[in-house]
Structures are given as C-alpha cells and as structure tokens.
C-alpha cells in the first residue's frame, strides 16, 4: 500500500476564512512534505517534517501553518490567503527524510481563493 490520502479534494475559500488541509499515510513513513503546484509549473516544496518535527520551511508566508500531530497525519492550516495562493497543494511522504528515499504523493487539494 503506497497510498497518501488528502482531504478535501477541492476547497474554495474567501480571503478572511480559516481552513485546513489534511494528509494521512499509513505506510510507517517518518517524513512528510507539503508542495504547492501552480498550473503548468513543477511542484514546489513548502515544508518538510521529519519524525514529526519541522525540518524545512522554504520561506513560506506565515498565512500557511503546518502541523504534524503524529507520524501518520499532516495538516496545513490556512488563514488570510490571497488569490495568488490558489493552486494544487500536494502532500507526500517517504520512509525518512534522507535522500534516495522515494516520495509518494497524494492526489492533492485543489484550492481556490476568492
């Protein structure tokens, strides 16, 4: 089983809303990732969690707040987003955060900010 589950699949929110994206994996992976992908662009890394601790923040604005409650779950809390934040948000996991570990991706959450 190499499944990473993301909910919701689609989300529309206003600029004053607070919402959360959720990601879950049951592969026993100890590294989890958030990526942002705009149309016709490659996925761009936002955050890396390693053993439930934030290890990489790619200078992401504070309106995006990640959380890793346990080794299977990863959340991305959204607040006061801008229309340019509309994108596909992808979650991934890997055995651990060392290089040469394959990252397995979820189907993503398509976010629209109005």
Partner 1 sequence: DQQVKQNSPSLSVQEGRISILNCDYTNSMFDYFLWYKKYPAEGPTFLISISSIKDKNEDGRFTVFLNKSAKHLSLHIVPSQPGDSAVYFCAASASTGANSKLTFGKGITLSVRP
Q: Is 100 in the site for partner 1 (CB under 8 A)?
A: yes
Q: How far is the CB of 23 from partner 1 (least distance, A)?
A: 11
Please tell me the distance from the alpha carbon of residue 23 to that of residue 33, in angstroms, as a whole number.
10
Q: Is 97 in the site for partner 1 (CB under 8 A)?
A: yes
DSSP label of 102: P
Q: Is 31 in the site for partner 1 (CB under 8 A)?
A: yes
Contact map string, positions 39 to 68, toward partner 1, x by CB under 8 A: -xxxxxx--x-x----xx------------
Please tell me the distance from the alpha carbon of residue 32 to that of residue 36, in angstroms, as a whole number.
14
Q: Is 38 in the site for partner 1 (CB under 8 A)?
A: no
Please tell me the distance from the alpha carbon of residue 45 to that of residue 100, in angstroms, as a whole number.
16
């Amino acid at each position: 089983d190499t499944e990473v589950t993301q909910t919701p699949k689609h989300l529309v929110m206003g600029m004053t809303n607070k919402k959360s994206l959720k990601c879950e994996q049951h592969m026993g992976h100890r590294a989890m990732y958030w990526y942002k992908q705009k149309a016709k662009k490659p996925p761009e890394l936002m955050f890396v969690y390693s053993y439930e601790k934030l290890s990489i923040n790619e200078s992401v604005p504070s309106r995006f707040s990640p959380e890793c409650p346990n080794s299977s779950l990863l959340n991305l809390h959204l607040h006061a987003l801008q229309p340019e934040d509309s994108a596909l948000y992808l979650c991934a996991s890997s055995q651990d955060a060392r290089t040469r570990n394959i990252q397995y991706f979820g189907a993503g959450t398509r976010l629209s900010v109005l």
